[in-house]
Amino acid sequence: MTLSYSNAHQQGSGTTEVVAVLVAITEHTARVLTVDQGKLLPNGPLMPLHRSLQAGVRQWVEEQTQQPLGYLEQLYTFVDTNRRNDDGHALVYVSYLGLVQEAKTQLQSQALWRDWYDYFPWENHLDGMPTIIMDYIVPALLTWADDAKEFDIQHRRRQRIGLCWGVSEMSLSNSAQNKSTLSNTETNNQPINNEEYENREWIAEHVLLRYEMLYEAGLIAEAPTYPPNHLSNAQSNNEFKLPSNWSQLIGSPMYYDHRRVIAMAISRLRAKIEYRPLIFGLMPDVFTLSQLQQSVEALSGIRLHKQNFRRLLESQNLVLETGQSSSAQRGRPAKLYRFRHDIELQSLLMDSKLPKRK
């Protein structure tokens, strides 16, 4: 599968593009703004009329989406060796991360908000570890590891699999033994051993590492080696193979490296949210503590301990009661809070982290 995009900007003499990852929390769901039916992020070439990179990204976002922009920070600079200008130079694109609230006005017809777990289904652990990890991803990656010709490479790959995917050595061994069993069914209903899973911690911010491992192993559509022949055309029932609906299970692909850019953005947000109160850039003016916790969970992909979360907020003095309550239709109305604007934000969480999963 080749993810070329014929309707993108025409090839020219320019070498730099700007790309925007705009993130919002809507109804406790982490969403990213896309264009062209979810296949691209807002993007465009840097032109002489742009005073700066940020001016360029703001212009293209406004033109392609009409989404109001607030705070932007530079995310990363990527080199796309698969795309070249008229002179044969590889295209460089500079990515930006923005935290916004979804515009209440009508967006451009090509603009579309998407749940970011549509692109990274393995990252959503709100209801526990997704079954796709142990049913298919880990067995497929172990096959990729075993295909290495040198033992040292095989060993390093297996170590990376365990560390990136939060899987214990026992689970890796069991998965290796059961690869042939898993390959004989399109779906697998065997329960996951949560005790083994917990033996090695799932590190939420390793999103980019996991994505790049799937890319390296040829397991996602953007990879030049996709689909991997050794997993698609197994010659016997004893060989693990991908299910026929793998392209639907592994998430929506994007043109160019734009899914990789989103992976970088999620990694950045998940890492920063542990020591900087970035979540407040995504919240309305007033909110309940439950809404705040659910928004943090949407970004991190894991459930947080309610009491520990609230103790953290109290100890860091991050929020203030407004004296008002929500108009809840069920149960008691919840107190409404607002963010404290009169304190130094950056130092508050520098030495503390959000509570871990339940």
Model confidence pLDDT, tens digit, residues 165-220: 998 877 777 665 655 444 444 434 344 444 444 457 899 999 999 999 999 999 99
- Check residue 184 and give its pLDDT: 44
Model confidence pLDDT, tens digit, residues 24-54: 999 899 999 999 999 999 998 877 666 777 7
Tokens coding 62: 């406004």
- Residue 328 reports pLDDT greater than 70: no
* Dihedral-angle region of residue 330 (phi above 0 means left; psi in -120 to 50 means alpha; beta otherwise): beta
Query: What is the b/e burial string over 25-48, where b = at least 16 CB atoms within 10 angstroms of the residue's CB?
Result: beeeebbbbbbbebbbbbbbbbee
The pTM for the full model equals: 0.84
Q: Distance between CA 2 and CA 226 in Å, rounded?
A: 9
Least confident of 166-175, 232-241, 286-295: 232-241
Q: Are 64 and 108 in contact (CB under 8 A)?
A: yes
Chain-centre distance of CA 83, in angstroms?
Answer: 24
Least confident of 67-81, 99-113, 302-316: 99-113
The mean pLDDT value for 142-156 works out to: 93
> Which residue matches tokens 């947080």?
304
Q: What is the DSSP annotation of 116-181? A: GGGT-GGG--BTBS-HHIIIIIHHHHHHHHHT-SSHHHHHHHHHHHHHHHT--HHHHHHHHHTHHH
* Mean pLDDT estimate for the chain: 80
Model confidence pLDDT, tens digit, residues 255-267: 988 999 999 999 9
Q: Distance between CA 14 and CA 74 in Å, rounded?
A: 20
Name the phi and psi angles at 88, rounded to 5.
85, 5
Q: Distance between CA 123 and CA 255 in Å, rounded?
A: 20
Q: Are 328 and 274 in contact (CB under 8 A)?
A: no
User: Helix, strand, or coil here: 282?
Assistant: helix
Name residues whose C-beta falls within 8 Å of residue 172's C-beta, 6 or more positions apart in sequence: 138, 142, 158, 161, 162
Model confidence pLDDT, tens digit, residues 82-137: 777 777 788 888 899 999 888 776 777 789 999 999 999 999 999 999 999 999 99
- pLDDT above 90 covers what percent of the chain? 43
Q: Distance between CA 265 and CA 316 in Å, rounded?
A: 26
E strands present in the chain: 16-26, 29-34, 43-45, 72-84, 90-99, 112-115, 319-325, 335-339
Q: Distance between CA 95 and CA 125 in Å, rounded?
A: 27
Q: What is the DSSP annotation of 45-63? A: E--TT-SSHHHHHHHHHHH
Tokens coding 330: 């069920």
Residues written for the chain:
358
